[in-house]
Amino acid sequence: MYIGPVNFEKVRNFMLGITEKLKLYDGQSRVGIVTFSGRATVERYLSEPANKDDIFAAINGIVYDGDYPFTADAFALLTERVFTPENGDRSDVPNFAILITGGLLFSEFTLPLAYQAQEQGVHVFGIGIGLSVSDRLELNMIASDPDELNAYNEPDVARLNDIVDKIVATLCQGQLSLYS
């Protein structure tokens, strides 16, 4: 599915909605952002300030380019550059990644890199927007288990906000084993 600029704004609002509900304390919480349309890019490292205004500014600064998603490259950046001690990762704090995509391009590297991230302790939420059946299966494989708490395929981008509370509850309540 082509997300398009109008739907991209709905995705941005979804990310802002999650951020709004999180309890971000200066110096205690860390948020990184990786975009992966056209190419994977670190937009924000964990070592950068993490109060809500900073995160809102980073999310609002993401530019929509409408290119194909490079999911494998995003996972590579997460493990090689984002979730690293030199860029702000802390070994005693659980790591979460929320992957939002309008289409998954399966490559021979996507699943191994997704599994590598999970083996390194990254809990992955997969959120698909209007995915085909084969893309939904891939999303389930990329997301951490169990699928019913971590893999979401929302046919209508306007309904993304319906899952904000589910994701925030999982993030904040530690309902899942992060290292299974």
Q: Where are the beta strands (DSSP E) in the chain?
A: 33-35, 41-44, 95-101, 122-129, 151-154
Q: Which two tokens stand for residue 126?
A: 């997969």
Q: Are 105 and 68 in contact (CB under 8 A)?
A: yes
The torsion defined by the Cα of 40, 43, 47 and 48, in degrees rounded to 10, comes to 180
Q: What's the confidence (pLDDT) of residue 177? A: 35
pLDDT, position 178: 35
Total-model pTM: 0.88
When pLDDT is cut at 50, 70 and 90, the band that residue 104 belongs to is: low
Report CA dihedral (73, 76, 81, 84) to the nearest 10 degrees. 150
For residue 146, cis peptide bond before it (omega within 30 degrees of 0): yes
Mean pLDDT of 165-170: 85
Check residue 98 and give its pLDDT: 93
The helix/strand/coil state of 174 is coil
Q: Is the pLDDT of residue 105 over 70?
A: no
Q: What pLDDT was estimated at residue 25?
A: 67
- Which amino acid would we find at residue 105? L
What sign has the CA pseudo-torsion 63, 65, 70, 76?
A: negative
What the block records as the tokens of 70 is 């490079």
Contact 32, 62 (CB under 8 A): no
Q: In what order do the strands lie in the sheet with 151-154?
A: 95-101, 122-129, 151-154
What SS3 class is residue 153?
Answer: strand
Ordered structural domains, the chain, with CATH: 4-173 (3.40.50.410)
